[in-house]
Amino acid sequence: QVHLQESGPGLVKTSETLSLTCTVSGDSINNNYWSWVRQPPGKGLEWIAYIYHMGGTNYNPSLKSRLTISVDTSRNQLSLNLTSVTAADTAVYYCARGLGATIFDVWGQGTLVTVSS
């Protein structure tokens, strides 16, 4: 059974960098596309980016200037770094496996990141 687990600080200060890791078990990170999706409390879903293990990435243009995602195939992990965060970046952050690049068939439980000064 495929399992995704997000981890990282639950609180980040305004203007600093949000860093998250997603650990994948039950599947190889080499086999699929992997995405990050976020959801502000009580609101809808926003796709952040996807990555393929060969390094192909695709970012949401609204976040691209602040965003870096990567994979560590030796640890079967993907990572997200979002710089210069503001309160608008407060959200539950999910990692998800891609069915193809653009459909999300397995999700992590999500991790809430709060941005505050």
Partner 1 sequence: EIVMTQSPPTLSVSPGERATLSCRASQSIGSNLAWYQQKPGQPPRLLIYGGFTRATGVPARFSGSGSGTEFTLTISSLQSEDFAIYFCQQHNNWPPLTFGGGTKVEIK
Residue 108 identity: G
Number of continuous H segments (helices) and E segments (strands) in the chain = 0, 11
Which of 46, 52, 66, 76 forms a contact with partner 1 (CB under 8 A)?
A: 46
Q: Which is nearer to partner 1, 45 or 87 (CB)?
A: 45
Asked if residue 52 binds partner 1 (CB under 8 A), the reply is: no
Measure the CA–CA gap between 88 and 53, rounded to whole angstroms: 29
Q: Which is nearer to partner 1, 34 or 104 (CB)?
A: 104
Asked if residue 58 binds partner 1 (CB under 8 A), the reply is: yes
Give the closest residue to 98 by CA, choosing from 22, 42, 40: 22
Residues forming contacts to partner 1 in the complex (CB under 8 A) are 44-47, 58-62, 94, 96, 99-100, 102-105, 107-110
